[in-house]
A and B are shown apart, each in its own frame.
Chain A
Amino acid sequence: MAEGLKKARVVIREDECKGCGLCIAICPEGVLFEQKHLNRMGYHPAGYRGEGCTGCGFCFYQCPEPGAITVYKKGYVEEEVA
């Protein structure tokens, strides 16, 4: 059996992000930030600093865009979603 993720991780699909900033405002760890560049819709997309996500999921449930944020929790096994 494959070993799960050692650390939680958040993935933001910049193309689907509307730059509303709600995820950034809610993150208890402060690991999300507004990026300088614009995406295809002209928004400054949110980004992940790359470290420190605990996988609490708060950002996922703040984000209005169905596909913009994915949160992988600690122990998540990649094969679970084929």
Chain B
Amino acid sequence: MAKALIKADSFYEIYERKDGIKDVTHYCPGCGHGVLHKLIAEALDDFGIREKSILISPVGCSVFAYYYFRLGNIQAAHGRAPAVATGIKRVHPESVVISYQGDGDLAAIGGNNILQAANRGENITVFFVNNAIYGMTGGQMAPTTLIGQKTTTTPYGRNVVNEGYPVRVCELLATLDAPVYIERVALTDAKNTSKVRRAVRKALQNQIDNKGFSLVEVLSACPSNWKMTPVQAKQWVEDNLIKQFPLGVYKDLTDQIKPKKAEKQVFSVDGLKEKLNIPMEEEKYSTSVKEAKEFRNMKLKIAGFGGQGILLLGLGMAQAAMQAGYNVSWLPSYGPEMRGGTANCHVNISKERIGSPLVSKPTVVIAMNLPSMEKFQSEIEPGGLLLYDTSLITQKPVRDDIKVLGIPATQIADNLGNTRIANMVIMGAFIAYTSVLDKQAVINALPFFIKRKNLIPLNEKAIVEGMNYVLSSN
């Protein structure tokens, strides 16, 4: 039995990262954070897990928890500690991952983060410090602020008409199936404090035993922002906070749950290729590409009806250009226009680095139906190219400061026996006209974006027909 209560080993002796006095925390006198830190550090010592523990500091007064804990430390964006903890735990299932969060962090900005992590049943331990206020930023209302409680943003007291009711996190999360252990405790007198100590240890033990998600809500004093002495603040937790947030165990499946085997998910490149239907053999990249000066940095918008293979055409161009050594991007649009049965995508093909995949001033517009031509021809840079399908668009383009190339792509595809390969006829016309890619580059790329291998010869034929149409009419 321990014969002395001494500063835990899981704390640094000297807080080197901290400014000013380096052997004292930055917390206000009487702040609950310090006490909870001590209980966590003591448990890590006693369980011998300091070396494999990783604590995520939140945004809030405990943002600097990493000054003090001699463990693996990460500081996460506001409210995102559960997501960060999830990532770490999945990559390092053998580690003990602790998400330490305040009420602003966990229940306001991070409300959905904790909900989803709990619902996934991540095998992590969450310590949730509920002090009913935003401490760090100077005492604004939190989701857990009591009705009538004065804060800087509720100077007349929290009013349910304006600000709603205090959020009970344990009760909410306990409705989910996945969490294993959820308890609310309070840092007040010796009896309640020993319950906090027990809960901290249980929540950590559950993780060590691979039981799953545990969360301990700790009602805690913020004397500074409550504008009370530390002793009054403790009493206020007893008299007021506990009334709104009853203490107790809200969920405990610890004894029923079988330990889940912690498995590191390994993704092999070949396994992924197989899943995604990507050929195993790396194709030799084509290098025999002429550089058409005017099309060095091409910005394309490709548009038409859904079902015309618009997105695939863009993807194929990007794939072939990438294999030919260009920088590329492909951005399919899933905007509201999808609902009207039209589709479009943005493609960059460039010798230079691409800043944004978004194309707002295209140098090339490919229009496979009339609405697309009407919508996008005005956006084309002067001197740019409008390529359109004359079998479906009988109207003539109005711009006279751009190059225009019309091709009866759908008709040609129909003659080949399948209107759905009109997109590849367009591909052929495009490469023949711009010479940004040669035929071989596109043929090499076909297996990467045409899933059904038996369709590859037909696609090749369509490309050749599109090229021939352009070359013979020049």
Residues of A in contact with B (beta carbons under 8 Å apart)? 4-5, 15-16, 18-22, 25-26, 40-41, 43, 56-58, 60-67, 69-77, 80-81
What are 5 sample pairs from A and B whose C-beta atoms fall under 8 A apart? Answer: A18-B30, A21-B231, A60-B5, A63-B35, A71-B4
Q: Considering the complex, which residues of chain B in the window 143-195 have a beta carbon less than 8 Å from any beta carbon of chain A?
A: 189-190, 193-194
How far is it, in angstroms, between the C-alpha of A65 and the C-alpha of B234 when the chains are bound?
A: 16
Q: Which residues of B contact A67 (CB under 8 A)?
A: 7, 11, 23-24
Does A26 lie within 8 Å of B3, measured CB to CB? no
How far is it, in angstroms, between the C-alpha of A22 and the C-alpha of B106 when the chains are bound?
A: 27
Does B3 lie within 8 Å of A20, measured CB to CB? no
Q: Shortest distance in angstroms between B46's beta carbon and chain A's nearest beta carbon?
A: 14
Does B4 lie within 8 Å of A64, measured CB to CB? no
Q: Given A58-B190, A66-B7, A76-B3, are A21 and B38 neighbors across the interface (CB < 8 Å)? A: no
Q: Which residues of B contact A81 (CB under 8 A)?
A: 4, 6
From A21, A66, A73, give the contact of B3 (CB < 8 A). A73
Q: Which residues of A contact B28 (CB under 8 A)?
A: 18
Q: Shortest distance in angstroms between A62's beta carbon and chain B's nearest beta carbon?
A: 7
How far is it, in angstroms, between the C-alpha of A38 and the C-alpha of B436 when the chains are bound?
A: 79
Q: Shortest distance in angstroms between B189's beta carbon and chain A's nearest beta carbon?
A: 7
Does A22 lie within 8 Å of B197, measured CB to CB? no
From B3, B11, B29, B30, give the contact of A4 (CB < 8 A). B3
Chain A CB within 8 A of B31 CB: yes
From B7, B8, B25, B231, give the contact of A64 (CB < 8 A). B25
Residues of B in contact with A (beta carbons under 8 Å apart)? 2-8, 11, 21, 23-25, 27-35, 37-39, 41, 68, 189-190, 193-194, 197, 223, 229-231, 234
Q: Which residues of A contact B194 (CB under 8 A)?
A: 61
- A-B Cβ contacts below 8 A, count: 99
Q: Interface of chain A, helix or strand or loop or mixed? A: loop
From B6, B11, B35, B37, give the contact of A62 (CB < 8 A). B35
From B2, B23, B231, give the contact of A25 (CB < 8 A). B231
Known: A22-B231, A61-B190, A66-B34. 7 other contacts (CB 8 A): A41-B21, A61-B197, A62-B193, A63-B38, A64-B32, A67-B11, A67-B23
Q: Shortest distance in angstroms between B4's beta carbon and chain A's nearest beta carbon?
A: 5
Q: Shortest distance in angstroms between A81's beta carbon and chain B's nearest beta carbon?
A: 7
Does A70 lie within 8 Å of B5, measured CB to CB? yes
> In this complex, what residue of B is CB-closest to A58?
B190
Does B8 lie within 8 Å of A66, measured CB to CB? yes
How far is it, in angstroms, between the C-alpha of A43 and the C-alpha of B223 when the chains are bound?
A: 16
Does B3 lie within 8 Å of A15, measured CB to CB? no
How far is it, in angstroms, between the C-alpha of A44 and the C-alpha of B4 when the chains are bound?
A: 25
Does A66 lie within 8 Å of B230, measured CB to CB? no
Does B234 lie within 8 Å of A66, measured CB to CB? no
Q: Given A22-B230, A72-B4, A76-B3, are A16 and B23 neighbors across the interface (CB < 8 Å)? A: yes
Q: Given A25-B231, A76-B4, are A66 and B68 neighbors across the interface (CB < 8 Å)? A: yes
Q: Shortest distance in angstroms between A5's beta carbon and chain B's nearest beta carbon?
A: 8
From A4, A18, A26, give the contact of B190 (CB < 8 A). A26
Q: Which residues of B contact A74 (CB under 8 A)?
A: 3
How far is it, in angstroms, between the C-alpha of A41 and the C-alpha of B22 when the chains are bound?
A: 12
How far is it, in angstroms, between the C-alpha of A20 and the C-alpha of B231 when the chains are bound?
A: 8
> In this complex, what residue of A is CB-closest to B37?
A66
> In this complex, what residue of B is CB-closest to A28?
B190
Among A18, A58, A63, A76, residue most surrounded by chain B Cβ atoms (within 10 Å): A18
Does B31 lie within 8 Å of A64, measured CB to CB? yes
Q: Shortest distance in angstroms between B209's beta carbon and chain A's nearest beta carbon?
A: 25
How far is it, in angstroms, between the C-alpha of A80 and the C-alpha of B6 when the chains are bound?
A: 12
From A15, A70, A71, give the contact of B23 (CB < 8 A). A15
